[in-house]
Structure 1
Amino acid sequence: MSTAGPARRVTIVAARHREAVALVAAEGPGAELSVLCVEEDGKDGRAALDRALADAERRGCRVTGAPRTVGAPDGGHAALLRELRTLRPQRVRLADPDPAHVSYDEERELPVHDEPAENAAAALTALAAVREHQLESGTPVFVDCHRAGADERPDAASQPRYPHPAHWLTEGFDGRLSAFLPSAAGIVRWTQREPGGTAWQGPELLPGPRLMPGLRVVRDLHGFPHLFALRRIPLKDGGDDIAVVRATQYRTGHPLTPWHSLGSPNSGNRHRSREVGFPAAAFDGTGGLSVFVRNFGHSVSYRHQGADGTWTPWQHLRGVRVADELVPVTTAGGETELFARARDSAAVLRWYRSAPDGAWTEDRTVPFSPRPGSLAAGPEPGTVLFRDLRTNEPCVWWPGATGPVPLGGADEGAGPVTGVRGVEAAGRPYSLLVRSGPGGACVVGVHAEGRADAGVWWNALPADSAVMPAAVRDRAGVVTLATLTAGSQLGLAHRESPSGGFEFDRWYTV
């Protein structure tokens, strides 16, 4: 797969011209940009967008025509759909459809936002139109909703409201691989036809009505992948409720289980439930499952499912207010711990407990400050990976370490660092790391397992990815890398030798 593929077609939809400025600024080089506005704007707003588009062209984007206003009595849905049929975007950038509140009106019992209400309304209208366009065309369209409100940390505004999954390539119970990505109309899946093979089928749209465009993929102790998302549910008295939902793939390539609702900490309240954070989940050593979300009050709520299948109700972890960035990890002893980026400072909080049914303890002594959007569970038990807030250098930390261990590779890349452990070479185990580099490049690093302090060897591979690249080691020891090309194809590469060096075969697309 060459880095010189087709330009990714990106359409930005905003309420007005001035609201499109930040969305344009978030787009990297190489995109073919078009802008649609639901309402007309004043002279200053149009001028600001013109400047933003000129800046985008200077950094390597190609702007296709002047911004178009598509307002209509129905809120713009039909007009947006007509434009989307013509533009055929591969990606769509939108504002936050459910921005976080900045205060609360106790008298009216309503949250107060500093975002104009028409921004969220335009995002919801556009999301419905993009869903319909994808269902009509049969081609996946990937959506980025940019977070707004209640997070004052640097770079917070550029973080997605619905994150792309970090572990979206996974091995199933039968040894075949599956790739899952969230799209405008639901989850799309690619499936490996034979274990270790290069023939795949997909993309296939999986049923999941009114899922928001984000996804978490978590594998259980038996090898079954579990998918977690948010689903919008209309309420009888108007507005929407948003629930955490889960589905499981028990047979590779076969239908998922129905999406089961876990509700939310603020279920039934159409104002509070809209702000529920994106779910994060982990299995412990006994097979128990914990699901965590940031709640309306900007603290953490969780539900736990025991190994016998019994769920607890939503429970609350008291402590420092957190951003919508939660990362559970499983320790070497099989316990689940939770890391969360603080909402109002550069700190990270950690919760742990001494027994599976014990009380949670909050730890405020975690000695690092991550760049927003970069926290992730490390491939080795109990570890967490992140990018340093000041330098953007990837680092690793684990409880008991006096400080984070720098991993080298500081560059202009963004997003989390993930990886897999137990990669054998010359009879020794290694951990393989993967991350996005400048422009979405796929960057791979390797270090001796348990010895990140001994140094990481980084290598940028000849492939760019429109989402965070993913890696998996299957039961035969084969390491596979996955990317999403600018043309929305699945890009794959396999390690040349299961026990030799760390070279990868030539990329291919499906």
Structure 2
Amino acid sequence: MTRRPGTGAAAPHEGGAQTVALVVPEPGDAVPLVALQPSGARVAVVCLRPGPKGDRTALDRALGVAADRGCAVRGGAKVLGAEGDEVATALLEALRAIGPERVHTLDPDPAHTSFHQASGTPSYAVPPTHAEVAAHALAAARALQVETVRPVSVDCHREGSDPRLGAAACRRHPLPVRWLSAGFDGRLTAFLPTAAGVLRRFERVPGGAWSDPELVEGAGLLPGLLVVPDPFGLPQLFALRRTVRGDGEVDVEVVHAAQYRTGEPPTPWQSLGGPNAGDWRKGREVGFPAAAFDAAGNLFVFVRNFGHSISYRCRAADGTLTPWRHLGGTRVADDLVAVTAPHGGVEVYGRARDGAGVVRWHPGPDGEWAEDRTPPFAPRPGSLTPTAEPGAVLFRDLRTNEACVWRPGLPSPCPLGDADGAGPLAAVPGWETDGRPCTVVARVGPGGLVSVGAHPGGRPDIGVRWQDLGMSSHGAPGAAVSRTGRLTVATATPGGRLLVAQRLPHPGGFAFGAPAPV
């Protein structure tokens, strides 16, 4: 029987045995972050200030609940008591003592709640110290990773998100779902975001040993990552970059890089700017990008803008860039996903900000963008992703948590028989059985373990039979099919390592070998 999150329910599981440092201004700010830590996590809390006594009591209560569900709690909150220039040094020293594989903090660039037109000043539901401490936490995590050469992942908690819906629903910067990529030569590459940049690993020979972890250069990258295959299947990387200006204010911009040969460095990060770049106060709130290529090779990049609608920029196949353009219409949350439709154009979906549901934008008959508010589903925050069928999306139902697929023209979503997992699912095409193309779907299932299933291409209604691969996941699992048909499912583990499971080479079979650490 599926347990649905409710008041007091534990957050859905996304892996466990890692050391997590929660970095917040005061103890009360850590309470929702504690609720997200899964069984097995080793949890330490770091605060700048002691905060009110009632908040300290609330944190102690939350830590007790976490210990009851299997977390290892490292005492109460450590209060630094530092101010001004002392904060950075004190926080780095605290992280050195903890040695975290993951840092969980607040949003460095929270969304505004109102805007004063005359002064051009946004107002926020949280005090400025929330963003300041988050920025310090990001910098300290980067410094720790550079110092120790040990990967540190970072989660920034989105203000107003509901911990009962799980970690993916609360991340300001989403983890990639298509982070495992197959190159022309049959070798795979893995791309994973860390505090110091994108961590890359690749197979030295197809199906063989993997390279050591290496960083893709890029100062100021925020924790999330989007990986999109271009029309040739080559990985295109998208992220947000946060830069402190000379006057002390902050610019946040969309950046893009590409890998054209397995094993060779990706291109330098290219700035695509942002739709509100003329005003740093507005520009720093830009949502995380979504991107897709149309059939002609034109790249479309979409973001949620300051006004909570969608803006986009297009890079033509010849490299020409359009300015940022505004779609208007229904206000959306950060969750955007772009897909290549059967007609060859690009469409974009966004989760509605002010209600349950999604809005879809697609090219109209006159060539202009048309808004469709009628898609018959409401996705769980953080679960909306592209699937392998052109124009279709994959998501978890807001009410039931069941994984579903929908494409334009269907009267209702098609369920995949998975309501006991957590987070987004990864879907890849290209695997064949008995000469029939299939879509492979990977998920985090019960207990944080990775499971995998498949359905005939274009026929998710036939259903998916899930099988457990026996490996834990810290985030969404990755899947890839090489050009020779080799099917691989992988998951990241603390320290930049991977667990990799290969489909056994039995004709028509869907059995996997034991997961191997690499």
TM-score (norm 2): 0.94
Could you tell me which residue of structure 2 aligns to residue 58 of structure 1?
Answer: 68
Q: How does 1:379-418 map to 2 (within 5 A)?
A: 379-411=388-420, 413-418=421-426
Q: How does 1:260-271 map to 2 (within 5 A)?
A: 260-271=270-281
Give, in whole Å, the separation in 1 of the partners of 2:126 and 2:217: 32
SS of 2:439's equivalent in the other structure is strand
Could you tell me which residue of structure 2 aligns to residue 85 of structure 1?
Answer: 96
Residue identity opposite 1:133 in structure 2: L
Deviation at 1:116, TM superposition (A): 1.6
Residue identity opposite 2:488 in structure 1: T
Q: Which moved more, 1:241-250 or 1:328-337?
A: 328-337
Determine if contact 2:153/2:195 at 8 Å carries over to the other structure.
yes
Could you tell me which residue of structure 2 aligns to residue 217 of structure 1?
Answer: 227
Give, in whole Å, the separation in 2 of the partners of 1:65 and 1:345: 40
- The 1:152/1:127 distance shift into structure 2, 3 A limit, reads closer
Deviation at 1:233, TM superposition (A): 2.1
Q: 1:59-86, CA deviations, whole angstroms, 9 ceiling, x for partnerless residues?
A: 1101012210113232521111112112
Q: Choose the corresponding residue for 2:197, options 175, 186, 189.
A: 186
Could you tell me which residue of structure 1 aligns to residue 438 of structure 2?
Answer: 430
Could you tell me which residue of structure 1 aligns to residue 79 of structure 2?
Answer: 69
Give, in whole Å, the separation in 2 of the partners of 1:481 and 1:20: 34
Deviation at 1:482, TM superposition (A): 1.0
Percent of paired sites with the same residue? 52
Determine if contact 1:407/1:455 at 8 Å carries over to the other structure.
yes
* Unaligned segments of structure 2, at least 5 residues: 1-12
Q: RMSD of aligned C-alpha atoms?
A: 1.9
Could you tell me which residue of structure 2 aligns to residue 459 of structure 1?
Answer: 467
SS of 2:42's equivalent in the other structure is strand
TM-score (norm 1): 0.95
Could you tell me which residue of structure 1 aligns to residue 372 of structure 2?
Answer: 363
Give, in whole Å, the separation in 1 of the partners of 2:197 and 2:340: 29
SS of 1:202's equivalent in the other structure is coil
* Alignment of 1:164 onto 2:175: yes
Q: Which moved more, 1:328-337 or 1:399-408?
A: 328-337
* Alignment of 1:131 onto 2:117: no
Give, in whole Å, the separation in 1 of the partners of 2:145 and 2:494: 17
Q: Which moved more, 1:293-302 or 1:108-117?
A: 108-117
Give, in whole Å, the separation in 2 of the partners of 1:268 and 1:509: 47
Residue identity opposite 2:409 in structure 1: G
* Alignment of 1:245 onto 2:263: no
* Unaligned segments of structure 1, at least 5 residues: none
Residue identity opposite 1:370 in structure 2: P
Q: 1:17-51, CA deviations, whole angstroms, 9 ceiling, x for partnerless residues?
A: 00011111111111011111111212111111100
Give, in whole Å, the separation in 2 of the partners of 1:330 and 1:106: 38
SS of 2:466's equivalent in the other structure is strand
Residue identity opposite 1:441 in structure 2: L
Give, in whole Å, the separation in 1 of the partners of 2:260 and 2:463: 39
Give, in whole Å, the separation in 2 of the partners of 1:10 and 1:156: 16
Give, in whole Å, the separation in 2 of the partners of 1:420 and 1:179: 15
Q: Choose the corresponding residue for 1:231, options 241, 251, 269.
A: 241
Determine if contact 1:156/1:372 at 8 Å carries over to the other structure.
no
SS of 2:348's equivalent in the other structure is strand
Determine if contact 1:38/1:75 at 8 Å carries over to the other structure.
no
Give, in whole Å, the separation in 1 of the partners of 2:500 and 2:139: 31
Determine if contact 2:106/2:130 at 8 Å carries over to the other structure.
yes
Could you tell me which residue of structure 2 aligns to residue 47 of structure 1?
Answer: 57
Could you tell me which residue of structure 1 aligns to residue 427 of structure 2?
Answer: 419
Residue identity opposite 2:51 in structure 1: D
Q: 1:85-108, CA deviations, whole angstroms, 9 ceiling, x for partnerless residues?
A: 121110110111111011112232
Deviation at 1:427, TM superposition (A): 2.8
- The 1:366/1:394 distance shift into structure 2, 3 A limit, reads same
Q: Which moved more, 1:263-272 or 1:479-488?
A: 479-488
- The 1:391/1:487 distance shift into structure 2, 3 A limit, reads same
- The 1:59/1:504 distance shift into structure 2, 3 A limit, reads same
Determine if contact 1:153/1:372 at 8 Å carries over to the other structure.
no
SS of 2:104's equivalent in the other structure is strand
Give, in whole Å, the separation in 2 of the partners of 1:303 and 1:312: 6
Deviation at 1:270, TM superposition (A): 2.0
SS of 2:281's equivalent in the other structure is coil
Aligned length: 503
Could you tell me which residue of structure 2 aligns to residue 469 of structure 1?
Answer: 477
Greater relative contact order, per chain length (Cα 8 Å cut-off, separation 6+): 2
Q: Choose the corresponding residue for 2:381, options 372, 375, 379.
A: 372
Give, in whole Å, the separation in 2 of the partners of 1:54 and 1:212: 32
- The 1:176/1:185 distance shift into structure 2, 3 A limit, reads same
Q: 1:242-262, CA deviations, whole angstroms, 9 ceiling, x for partnerless residues?
A: 010001112212222111100
Q: Choose the corresponding residue for 1:494, options 476, 491, 502.
A: 502
Could you tell me which residue of structure 2 aligns to residue 299 of structure 1?
Answer: 309
Residue identity opposite 2:307 in structure 1: G
